[in-house]
Structures are given as structure tokens and as C-alpha cells.
Amino acid sequence: MRVLMKGNEAIGEGAVRAGCRYFFGYPITPQSELTHYLAKRLPEVGGLFLQAESEVASINMVYGAAAAGARVMTSSSGPGISLMQEGLSYLAGSELPSVIVNLMRGGPGLGNIAPSQSDYFQAVKGGGHGDYHMIVLAPNTAQEMLDTMGKAFDLADQYRNPVMVMADGIMGQMMEAVDLAGDTKIEIPPKPWATTGMAHHTGKNVINSCLVIPEEMEELNLRLEKKYKVISQKEQACDQYMLADADIVLVAFGLVSRICMSAVEKARAMGIKAGLIRPITLWPFPTELIEKTADKTRAYLTVEMNMGQMIEDVRLAVRGRAPVFHYGRLGGMVPELKDVLAEIKNLHEGGTGR
């Protein structure tokens, strides 16, 4: 069954289909439709939608529900996600599976409610305190927003780790056809570690990230590091488009990747060998594929709705073997096809970007 859905609604339906039955959140634009959808939808499947008094409370309610063994999520946008950083650090430290959605908007500060990708650093480099990583997924269509939620909950459970799904305000608001015919079988792994009361598991369970003895804290840190290494090796995901013979390689995620696909097509029509890498996982970053293309690529161009954040990860992957340039629009502005094309042409003609 194909239906028209806003991206925000697709995320909500995707969560329900993934077996998520608990949502805790606080109102913020441009993710409002997601909460409207789940406020109606969750009670239909025996779930709970609860509006919290703040994002600080929301993320801690997520912490409690995850500790109790439930599939649980919250969603917000920039300022609200900033308020959640303490909680995200605790979720990572206590290894609680949970899904957090960020529909990014212009910033810093109160900024605006227009689309942006300016929370990239916050999501992939930490954001909260301490040594940790979230898994970060970046869908680029309403369909993928729906499908990603299943993947997000599975990864969260598999690795006992918070997973962030990132998109921008346009993707949340834009309506697209979504196919609801896919797999709806829900498989939630057992959680013998959950604090459900001692009558419901063996022994006493404790959910905790407080280890006052440095040797014990280091032990946790090392265990987390080992887990993050496994995730880095196994979970890198990206799409590629006309990459095989490309010498100008665009790198873009989310909404911008769709604009870049069109730009690649236009460039090809002009005889320029352009291609696109679209990271689907922002952490772990798809370093492997980018690395492989480094020796045959004349120039990389990251196109982002920020001042140049993902470009740092592309440069780390390329390791100086080819120049990496950036084109961005800021403050809620979206890169236009003609401007991206002009950047490609400029690089093709030996230019050095902006």
C-alpha cells in the first residue's frame, strides 16, 4: 500500500512498525508532526505517548523506559537535542538501547525553524561529555525514514547503544509516497540485563554509569571502545551514484544528496565525470569506500547545509591524496542545483573551490 506521508509521519510509522511502544518528548518545530502522529498512533497499538516538561526530562524518561527493557524513542530539533546531551552521555555510559531523532534546524542559538545540517559535529563527535559514540543514521527519502527506524532499533538493541536518526526540517515536512507493504515482523531480543524487578530475571540488575574507581571506569571505557571498533568495522553504510569512473566526487547526506544526484546527472550531460557518495551512516562514517576512491579522484566536493562539518571526516578518509572542497548554504538555506553544478564545473576546470 502506497500512501502520501510527511517525513515526520514516516518516522513515526516506522517506529511503530519496529515495535517501539513508548515515546517521550517535548514540542519543538520542525518535528511537530512526528509527535502529532505518535500521539494518535501509539495508543492504537497499546503504546504510550507522553509529553514531558522539557527535553531534559524526555531523554531521562527514555533512559528509564530503556532500562526497563522497552523499545523507546524521543525526537527533537537542535535546541532540544542540545538539552538532551547529558542524557545521551548517560545512555551511552549505561549502554541503554534507545533511538533519538533530530530534525535539524538553523542555528546556533534559537536560530530558526528552517532546514539545516549544522548538528553534524554534535551528533558524530560526541555532543555530551565523556568518551562515547552514538550510531548516527541519515535517511534521504520519506520511505527511507520509515525503513531506517527498524534498522535504528535493531542496531540499538544489538549493540546496547543510543542511535540517532538525523534529517533536516524539509525532510520532516515534505510529503512523499511511502510503501507500507514491507516486513512488519517485530523481533526484539531478550534483555536479561533490564531492571524489571528481581522476580523477572536472575539476581540483582543495576543500570549505572558511575564507576568511582578509575581502574573500573577505564575497564568500561575499554569495553565501549571495543564495541565502537566492531560497529566501525561492520556498520559503515553508504550509497554511490555514477562513481565507477568519476574524477570529481561529491559527498553529501540527507536532503542534499538528492540535489547532488541531479547535479551529477547535469554534469555528466556536460561531459564531466562526476559521481556521488552518500553516507547513510554518519557514524560510523563510510571511510572505507571513500578511501578506496582517493587515488582515482581529482577532487572531492562535500555539499552540506553548514559551514563545513562532514568535510573533516572526508579529509580524514582521503588522507591528503586528493583535495577536498566544500560548498554549503547556511542558516536554513538550501543549496540550489545550479550552484552545486557551478561548483562542479569550477573544480572540473581546475578551480580550487570557495
Partner 1 sequence: MKKAFSRPQSLLDVPFHYCPGCTHGVAHRLVGEVIDELGIQDNVIGHAPVGCAVFTMDYFDFDMISAAHGRAPAVATGVKRVLPDRVVFTYQGDGDLAAIGTGEFVHAAVRGEKITCIFINNAVYGMTGGQMAPTTLPGQKTKTTPFGRDSVISGYPIKVCEMLTPLDGAAYIARAAVHSPRAIIQAKKAIKKAFQVQMAGLGFSLVEILSTCPTNWGLTPLEAVKWLEENMIPYFPLGEYKVPAAGVI
Positions touching partner 1 (CB under 8 A) are 22, 24, 48, 50, 52-54, 56-58, 60-70, 72, 86-87, 90, 94, 195-199, 204-210
Phi-psi group of 197: left, alpha or beta (phi > 0 → left; psi -120 to 50 → alpha; rest → beta): left
Cis peptide before 190 (omega within 30 of 0): no
In the chain, the largest separation of any two C-alpha atoms, in whole Å, equals 71
Q: How far apart are the first and last CA of the chain?
A: 46
Kind of pairing between the strands at 238-241 and 248-251: unpaired
Q: State the Cα–Cα distance between residues 19 and 15, nearest whole angstrom.
A: 7
- Least Å distance between CB 68 and partner 1? 4
- Least Å distance between CB 201 and partner 1? 8
C-beta closer to partner 1: residue 49 or 159 = 49
C-beta closer to partner 1: residue 64 or 111 = 64
C-beta closer to partner 1: residue 193 or 241 = 193
Helix or strand holding residue 301 (H, E) = strand 299-304
C-beta closer to partner 1: residue 69 or 106 = 69
**Using an 8 Å Cβ cutoff, are 188 and 19 in contact?**
yes
C-beta closer to partner 1: residue 96 or 256 = 96
- Least Å distance between CB 100 and partner 1? 14
Question: Which grid coordinates are listed for 266?
Answer: 547535469
- Least Å distance between CB 212 and partner 1? 8
Q: State the Cα–Cα distance between residues 61 and 63, nearest whole angstrom.
A: 5
The closest of 118, 102, 149, 154 to 5, measured between CA atoms, is 149
- Least Å distance between CB 59 and partner 1? 8
C-beta closer to partner 1: residue 69 or 335 = 69
- Least Å distance between CB 57 and partner 1? 4
